[in-house]
Chains A and B, each alone.
Chain A
């Protein structure tokens, strides 16, 4: 069910959602303070929203969102977050401008545009190559590879780039992924990629820049691998080891 709401009404929904999330309760007075309007204005807006079955409201009581209202609120918040991310991390807008613009634009953007933006942000974060084209089959890709048959994943591409570029003043020519090491191979960690959800965990377990690692063995079925780091044995999947770049010693 699609509700077409005016921007101001969407702002009400968003405010109620925020209030509920932070304080577990949304009072008319709080909404008025936040929106910088009078209580009477809030009351009339709430009636309209209540008529659209987006909120549960009766006079003199607190306000709650209906499932449809909550759904809409989450959508608005997501639009806001994506836009803010885009302004901040891709367009490098000053922080003061980020929220302001995102608040204005969040009401106008439709789902397709939003999803494209998300893909674009992710792509830009990943790919250092700036020759970007959209392609129906693979989404955003660098123009390096027009032929979709020749398509290599961004992951492989950025890895091969990483090998040939300098990083933090240190030559990375000899860097390889930990998964490429054979049993018995040793190396020193020079970088850990953040794409993997387990990156943080791995770092807390001692996989940090400068640590020595040794691949003790590979499991009989080919995965995972058993590595020695900081004097103890740790088991990792190759998929995760791909994100650990080492220089061979």
Chain B
């Protein structure tokens, strides 16, 4: 490897056609991403949680004038897709037709990993088999005869230790030699009755324009397996779909009667039969059954006595790290931004009315800064999540929590996206891709913004000390967080029993062995998520800050009306006259029953950009100049103008109501339709209105906090 270039390469790139494409595939947790990083030098995150590669990552390797594009696919257990990411992986292989597939196998888990391999053999695409983590397997007493395995399947076999970068150059050499001189893998031969059926179907497939699906034999097998996606493709292309459909049905019926079970299950049986044969031929295991370190950890970490307490302790540590440890770093960031804006202000003469200064200081720095100061928070949360994922504990959390999540109507795997949601809803929503069942996935996505994200913290930090005395501050914060969690449970149940009704998705989850997370891996992970957050600050929030600044600056009131007012009164009058002020005023009758006035309304409009903008916006309407959640003068003003009940209602409304624009955009992207994004946006706002209304009116009736 001499020159390495990373990042996405567009399909339009001219050299694309000439470049050979190599796809990395394998079971989740088999070490694909590590191998990918070794091959390309790229910094892709590697996690020890099944299903982390949620997007296709590409990277280029240039080696002696030859060009190679390496693609890291999401992990899959089979070429019959169950989850969205498995479909992504499968469709990449059959649509983009890579020149070579590198199948990465966890040697210590050979049998199950070979299940995917035998299906890949059927595709007729050249394959390189990589036996990864061979050191662990050897330590566990497993030996594998590579030459024999290679002979049996007619594919080259390479041994690697991914996390120590052993075998990478040999793998690269094998890839090159296989590309210049490809072998045809030897497919599995099934029992006679199956082969008979496959032959029948192959005969019929011959006549079709078969560019939309790969190898005939593979397609025939998928039709027998009743693969819906493949069926659709074939039906679309085939000249006489009816006849073929009848033929497929009759073949399936015959096989069903012979095997007394569905053909797809019978075929799985046979594949595992073949695999057992391969393993007998090629491997020898040390008969002493070793109790692995991983099992020993689990006997404590998942035990009846310690399982839940350890889990709760872990959660406590995660939150402590995120919210308490991060505080000094946050203070420092804040100091930096205050310093930056004072430097910028110094460039203009005192009391200048320059629009550019106002845009920079009140618009961009105030808006973007308020997001960026949360970076330490977010980074530490992601650090914690990275450790949990890479070590393998995350899958255990799903295991421990499934009972509860199941009661709520969700899946054990929903817990991880929800947990991430405490940091930021966006990566949380993206993490729902690991959920196999569409309804589980949508439900998790829709209720996720109810989990109070880090961006809402500045609002609480401003309001709580303003209205509540010290002993009450922590409980009030707790109430807010718990309200969010409780509402997400109620909403999830409601969704699952109404519009997203349907069977519970099965909970079939691999518990990978524990592994010591590597520092490099964790920092790559943390940096990637942190970068995503910063990018949001740099793009969406920057843009919206400018728009909001313009909205609260223009139009300017006529000069004569400001005559004789103090500087503060001028700012306030200007705000009232601006677009944002007018929206706030227009909203006032609507939000009056929630005890909110137009000033809060204006700030709520700002909160759409990012929740924390609420604080800055409130500062502006109260002509405090640059305000933040530590601003005592703003707190005093709030105390004078509102009562604690209103303060509580503000927090409640900010917690529940429409998520920020970035979350809205991600929901649209991940759910694939505007419908769900709008449903979430409007639904949450309506719930927020109802809940806040009820709380305020009840509180007022009983005279609590007024």
Which A residues form the contact surface with B (CB < 8 A)?
22-23, 88, 95, 99, 168, 192, 194, 196-206, 208-211, 216-217, 219-224, 226, 230-237, 239-240
CA distance A42 to B431 in the complex (A): 52
Which one, A197, A210, A220, A223, contacts B506 given CB within 8 A? A197
In the assembled complex, which residues on chain A have CB atoms less than 8 Å from the CB atom of B77? 201, 204-205
In the complex, are the beta carbons of A208 and B268 less than 8 A apart? yes
CB of B674 closer than 8 Å to a CB of A = no
Q: A99, A206, A216, A235 — which one has the most chain B CB atoms within 10 A of its CB?
A: A235
In the complex, are the beta carbons of A220 and B302 less than 8 A apart? yes
In the assembled complex, which residues on chain B have CB atoms less than 8 Å from the CB atom of A197? 503, 505-506
In the assembled complex, which residues on chain A have CB atoms less than 8 Å from the CB atom of B269? 203, 208-209
In the assembled complex, which residues on chain A have CB atoms less than 8 Å from the CB atom of B406? 223, 237
Q: Shortest Cβ distance from B52 into chain A, in angstroms?
A: 17
Q: Which residue of B lies closest to A196 (CB)?
A: B506
CA distance A219 to B512 in the complex (A): 16
In the complex, are the beta carbons of A219 and B503 less than 8 A apart? no
Q: Which residue of A lies closest to B249 (CB)?
A: A95
> Total A-B pairs in contact (CB under 8 Å)?
136
In the complex, are the beta carbons of B264 and A200 less than 8 A apart? yes
Interface residues on B, range: 35 or more
In the assembled complex, which residues on chain B have CB atoms less than 8 Å from the CB atom of A239? 504
CA distance A220 to B403 in the complex (A): 9
Q: Shortest Cβ distance from B450 into chain A, in angstroms?
A: 23
CA distance A208 to B264 in the complex (A): 12
In the complex, are the beta carbons of A194 and B265 less than 8 A apart? yes
In the complex, are the beta carbons of B265 and A192 less than 8 A apart? yes
Q: A221, A231, A240 — which one has the most chain B CB atoms within 10 A of its CB?
A: A221
| Interface CB pairs A-B, < 8 A, 7 | A95-B246, A194-B265, A197-B503, A201-B506, A204-B78, A231-B108, A233-B510
CB of B210 closer than 8 Å to a CB of A = no
CA distance A70 to B24 in the complex (A): 42
Q: Shortest Cβ distance from B471 into chain A, in angstroms?
A: 34
In the assembled complex, which residues on chain B have CB atoms less than 8 Å from the CB atom of A205? 77, 112, 508, 510
CA distance A234 to B303 in the complex (A): 16
In the complex, are the beta carbons of A202 and B80 less than 8 A apart? no
Which B residues form the contact surface with A (CB < 8 A)?
77-78, 80, 82, 108-112, 115, 235-236, 241, 246, 249-250, 253, 260-262, 264-265, 268-269, 272, 295, 298-299, 302-304, 307-308, 395, 398-400, 402-404, 406, 412, 436, 503-513
Q: Shortest Cβ distance from A155 into chain B, in angstroms?
A: 14
In the complex, are the beta carbons of A226 and B507 less than 8 A apart? no
In the assembled complex, which residues on chain A have CB atoms less than 8 Å from the CB atom of B108? 231
CA distance A200 to B404 in the complex (A): 25
Q: Shortest Cβ distance from A166 into chain B, in angstroms?
A: 12
Q: B262, B265, B395 — which one has the most chain A CB atoms within 10 A of its CB?
A: B265
Q: B268, B298, B504 — which one has the most chain A CB atoms within 10 A of its CB?
A: B268
In the complex, are the beta carbons of A202 and B508 less than 8 A apart? yes
Q: Which residue of A lies closest to B399 (CB)?
A: A235
In the complex, are the beta carbons of B400 and A220 less than 8 A apart? yes
In the complex, are the beta carbons of A200 and B80 less than 8 A apart? yes
Q: A23, A204, A211, A233 — which one has the most chain B CB atoms within 10 A of its CB?
A: A204
Q: Shortest Cβ distance from B570 into chain A, in angstroms?
A: 57
Q: Which residue of B lies closest to A223 (CB)?
A: B403
Which one, B261, B268, B402, B511, contacts A233 given CB within 8 A? B511
CA distance A226 to B513 in the complex (A): 13
Which one, B241, B268, B513, contacts A203 given CB within 8 A? B268
In the assembled complex, which residues on chain A have CB atoms less than 8 Å from the CB atom of B513? 233
Which one, A99, A199, A200, A234, contacts B511 given CB within 8 A? A234
CA distance A85 to B509 in the complex (A): 34
Q: Which residue of A lies closest to B398 (CB)?
A: A235
In the complex, are the beta carbons of A217 and B262 less than 8 A apart? no
In the assembled complex, which residues on chain A have CB atoms less than 8 Å from the CB atom of B241? 22
In the complex, are the beta carbons of B509 and A235 less than 8 A apart? yes
In the assembled complex, which residues on chain B have CB atoms less than 8 Å from the CB atom of A194? 261-262, 265
